[in-house]
């Protein structure tokens, strides 16, 4: 009887692990399908765009909304892939360095052969973390932890954002709730978001207090789930 129970428990555990692996592979296949060469996957991308938000997971809906607003997205399955993508972005745009306030990100920029500076220059990209990725809007939420006291409108024209899949939430309410859980007693200030990645087509956002927060933005999304 005990042996049967142990076998049953082991099978249940194996099945659970199989489901997790299948879901993870499905997510990776979704991202890879979206971001493989455009000519090969144009029809697949069109099919994805016709799906309703109810049919999509949070991460899939975020990607769809983010891209539809002009965002440039690179899915990274591991840190080395993220470093390579960052290096390619910097080289392709002929940027000599990046604006960066975070010490860990400065180390990454050094690894990929780029200098960093804390001096804000409009033509130099801002390499930064973020707080949350908002699925329903395809927008990105920031706070003083990343921006310090700077308004988004006063930061460089290009952003390169390093985020993780675990940061994707449904909407702004969940994003703010997540910030509270992260910082608890030391709640950050200067909470604002970017939800337009084509500066010529700016949408107002009540969190932005009427400022023009549209930025040309690259998102490096690292898989951590």
Which residues fall within 8 angstroms of residue 66, CB to CB, at 6 or more apart? 73, 133, 138, 139, 197, 219
Query: Helix (H, G, I), strand (E, B), or coil: what is residue 222?
Result: strand
Tokens 């979206």 appear where?
Answer: 34
Give CA–CA dist 89/112, Å, rounded.
Answer: 11
Closest to 112 in 3D by CA, of 143, 91, 142 = 91
Query: Helix (H, G, I), strand (E, B), or coil: what is residue 127?
Result: strand
Tokens found for residue 120:
């804000």
Query: Helix (H, G, I), strand (E, B), or coil: what is residue 74?
Result: strand
Tokens 């409108």 appear where?
Answer: 153
**Partners of residue 140 on adjacent β-strands:** 133, 194
The DSSP output letter for 118 is S
Taking only the tens of pLDDT, the chain with its 225 residues reads 545 444 444 544 444 443 344 444 445 555 554 544 444 444 444 454 444 545 568 888 999 999 999 999 999 999 999 999 999 999 999 999 999 999 999 999 999 999 999 999 999 999 999 999 999 999 999 999 999 999 999 999 999 999 999 999 999 999 999 999 999 889 999 999 998 999 877 654 445 444 468 999 999 999 997
First to last CA, the chain: 37
Give CA–CA dist 11/16, Å, rounded.
Answer: 9
pLDDT in tens, 95-143: 999 999 999 999 999 999 999 999 999 999 999 999 999 999 999 999 9
């Amino acid at each position: 009887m005990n042996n049967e129970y142990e076998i049953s428990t082991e099978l249940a555990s194996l099945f659970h692990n199989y489901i997790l692996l299948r879901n993870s592979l499905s997510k990776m296949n979704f991202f890879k399908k979206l971001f493989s060469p455009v000519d090969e996957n144009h029809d697949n991308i069109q099919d994805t765009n016709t799906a309703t938000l109810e049919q999509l997971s949070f991460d899939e809906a975020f990607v769809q909304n983010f891209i539809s607003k002009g965002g440039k997205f690179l899915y990274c399955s591991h840190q080395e892939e993220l470093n390579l993508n960052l290096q390619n972005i910097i080289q392709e745009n002929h940027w000599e360095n990046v604006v960066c306030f975070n010490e860990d990100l400065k180390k990454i920029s050094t690894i990929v052969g780029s200098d960093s500076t804390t001096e804000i220059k409009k033509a130099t990209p801002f390499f930064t973390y973020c707080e949350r990725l908002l699925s329903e809007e395809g927008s990105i939420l920031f706070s003083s932890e990343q921006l310090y006291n700077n308004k988004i409108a006063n930061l460089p024209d290009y952003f390169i954002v390093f985020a993780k899949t675990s940061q994707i939430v449904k909407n702004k309410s969940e994003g703010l709730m997540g910030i509270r859980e992260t910082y608890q007693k030391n709640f950050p200030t200067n909470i604002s978001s970017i939800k337009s990645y084509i500066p010529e087509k700016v949408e107002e956002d009540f969190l932005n207090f009427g400022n023009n927060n549209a930025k040309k933005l690259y998102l490096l999304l690292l898989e951590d789930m």
